Structure 1
Amino acid sequence: MVTIKHVSERAGVSQATVSRVINGSTRVSREKQLKVESAIKELGYRPNSIAQALASSRTESVGIVVPELGGPFYSGILQSIEGQLRQLGYHAVITAGSNTEQSQKEAVEFLLGRRVDALILHTQQLDDDYLIMLEERGIPIILINRVVPEMLTSCIDIDNEAGGLLATQYLIKMGHKHIACITGPLNKSDARGRLQGYRKALENAGLEYNEMLVSEAGFTEETGMSAMKKLLNRGCPFSAVFAANDHMAFGAREVLKSVGLSVPDDISLVGFDNILFARYLTPGLTTIDFPIEKMSKEAVKLAIHKLNKNKSDVNLKLVPSLVIRDSVKNVINTL
């Protein structure tokens, strides 16, 4: 069995130095760190996780809270974060916080009771003051897809406004002048940002913002269906729809199909998130790519930097991109 002693002899350093490297201490020179890491790899040394946790007061685990465990969006986030943590020798402890403040708070307290070393939170319902209080208690926290002004160096966000702008600009470029918008719940910052991007694109193009063409939904297929029914019943004509996530776009598409309207021949459609199913629809859904893997990677990197008290070079603001498929019709020469 390979021990710390064997690693120290192979690396030519003390056992204390090996221990510091394993526990992420910054009190080791880069040269010695590389020697130790090389020796560990060559010898196939695996630290005793129980002894290591006792020595460092760490559990080598990171708690993750998301609203729900199902669905391609959250499952993609969880899979990516868990994979990144595992590569670094950490375990992920995952819990669903539902969509209420109380349940999300209970999820956080559950993880803290399990003595996780850090928290990665995708939560919109938790109060800013509660999160600030946790950070002031010295708990390493990373917020994803959310910004709390007092915790800017702990927040990794996507530029939701830029995404809404991209989606609507593309529809305008393709000749559409009457563009409806199905928003997410406007008590959530990401939904507000995407709506703001939609409004900005209209303003930049000299097009009037019309509240009759905006319908609020809940980031689900069912609410997307309800929102589309409302838009159709209002009798305000439109040739295109920007849905603020792909699930709502799927629901909207089903309603259009049920009333005999075709995508994109009758109504063009753009979503947001670029979940896996979007590419397999017929026609494929044009959408905004949410860089889930990049966000997850940056969140894990920031968590480890906080644990080891290292300076962070994390990208805190991620930029979305447009994925063009076949759900938008060019109407420039037909209007």
Structure 2
Amino acid sequence: MSVSRVVNGSRRVSPEVERKVRAAIEKIGYQPNEAARVLKGTRSSVLGLIVPDLADPFFAGCCNAIQEAAWLAGYMTLMVASAHREELERRETEMMVQRHVAGLIVVAVGAHNDHFAAAQNKGVPLVALDRPIENVQSDTITVDNFKAAVRATEHLIGHQHREIVCVADDERIYTKFERVSGYSRAMKEANLAPRVCLVGAMTGSVEEQVSLHLGSKHPPTAIFAASNVVCTEILHYLREHSMSIPEDLALICFDDFSAATLVTPPITVIQQPLAELGQTATRMMLDRLQNAGGMPSTTIELKTRLVLRNSCGCSGANLEAEPRFSVS
């Protein structure tokens, strides 16, 4: 029994027993056969994880938390990136199913999700991270994108900004749609006209679109960036054009990122609870594995945190943040 627990990654083994078992395993060169485990009817000890971009700080932070939580529960993670391409995501999903993963935690990138439905039909449970999987019923963990965007926009309005532009890179994605909608709601409730600037291959680069708005009859005095990727490009543009933050243009970004506190002035952000997102996604998957088909799909929405720095116009005593996340 002790050997089985060590091989399967269980934490219910004393350090001394684990040391002896691993020494014996190394001596005889034993390698567990995952395929044989599945054929015997034993559930795989591998969780599949598919995200759009492993280099993105948001997805990287979530992946780290999932990997740690899975390891503590006795599972390894098989992690891949879809590069925001639906066809690649489809092939990766099929590969995961062929490798008999115990379950899939996914950040879906497209609207045609029959490959996820097919995985479910083959008995592979799904947990949707960051956004729901369109047209597929699954457990979902996300954040309060809409409410957070409302708070960020209201904060800029509180600094007497009236010409505020929201810059987003893909409104078709659930999270971006919610953030743009929250921004628009706050603007309308303040009797201000929303100005949404969508950037991408079809609409133009961040540089082109921001330049267009700044050259308009009513140039913006503030920008709400709907992601850290967009915010980084805006910072490059402002530096190249010798524009000062917040004197020439105030800025709030949805998503914290390492450079946000390294630039001058530091960037005010909506901070997402990355560790809690990853841990909750893993916990939902483990619950689903223990109660396969025995409970309805659930959706959990976590709270974000507005972190006030200098880019929005705050200074001194005004630099306060909402309470820190509590991660269990």
> TM class, shorter-chain normalised?
0.7 to 0.9
1:183–1:191 contact (8 Å) kept in structure 2 = yes
| 1:79 pairs with one of 36, 39, 64 | 64
Match for residue 31 of structure 1? none
CA contact 1:253–1:263 (8 Å) conserved in 2: no
Contact 1:246/1:287, CA 8 A, preserved across alignment: no
Alignment CA distance shift 1:235-1:107 (3 Å)? farther
Aligned to 2:251, the other structure's residue is in SS state strand
For residue 266 of structure 1, give the secondary structure of its aligned residue in structure 2: coil
Q: Which moved more, 1:138-147 or 1:120-129?
A: 120-129
Aligned letter for 1:317? E
From the CA coordinates, give the structure whose radius of gyration is larger: 1
For 1:275-333, what per-residue CA distance to the aligned partner results, in whole angstroms no more than 9, with x for missing partners? 222122211110111222111111100111111117699871112121111101269xx
The match for 2:267 is 285
The answer to whether the 8 A contact 2:50-2:105 is kept is yes
2:313 alignment counterpart: 329
- Please give the residue correspondences for 1:170-189 in structure 2 after superposition, counting only pairs within 5 Å: 170-189=155-174
Among 281, 287, 299, which residue is 1:305 paired with?
Answer: 287
Q: How far 1:126 moved relative to its partner?
A: 5.1
CA contact (8 A) 2:108 2:133 kept: no
For the residue of structure 2 that corresponds to 1:317, the secondary structure is strand
Cα-to-partner distance string for 1:6-55 (whole Å, 9 max, x where unaligned): x9xxxxxxxxxxxxxx899xxxxxxxxxxxx86x3476457995486664
In structure 1, C-alpha distance between the alignment counterparts of 2:144 and 2:298, rounded to whole Å: 15
- Give the root-mean-square deviation of aligned CA atoms: 3.2
1:142 aligns with 127
Deviations 1:119-156 (A, max 9, x none): 01012215244433432332111111112476555111
TM-score, length basis structure 2: 0.80
Q: 1:66: Cα distance to partner?
A: 1.0
* Offset of residue 165 of structure 1: 0.8
- Per the alignment, in what secondary structure is the counterpart of residue 231 of structure 1? helix
Q: Measure the CA separation in 2 of the matches of 1:83 and 1:72.
A: 17
Partner of 2:199: 217
Task: Check if 1:263 corresponds to 2:248.
Answer: no
Whichever residue aligns with residue 168 of structure 2, its letter is T
* Identity between Structure 1 and Structure 2 (%): 23
**Structure 1, 242-251 or 263-272: larger mean CA deviation:** 242-251
Contiguous gaps of at least 5 residues in structure 1 = 8-21, 25-36
Q: What is aligned with 2:104?
A: 119
Partner of 1:11: none
- The amino acid across from 2:125 in the alignment is P
Aligned letter for 1:198? Y
8 Å Cα contact 2:111-2:134 kept in structure 1: no
SS at match of 1:157: strand
Structure 2 match to 1:164: 149
Q: Determine the C-alpha separation between the residues in 1 that align with 2:110 and 2:37.
A: 35
SS at match of 1:299: helix
More deviation in 95-104 or 254-263?
Answer: 254-263
Say which of 318, 322, 329 aligns to 2:302: 318
| Partner Cα distance (1:149, 1:127) in 2 | 8
1:256 is displaced (CA, Å) by: 2.1
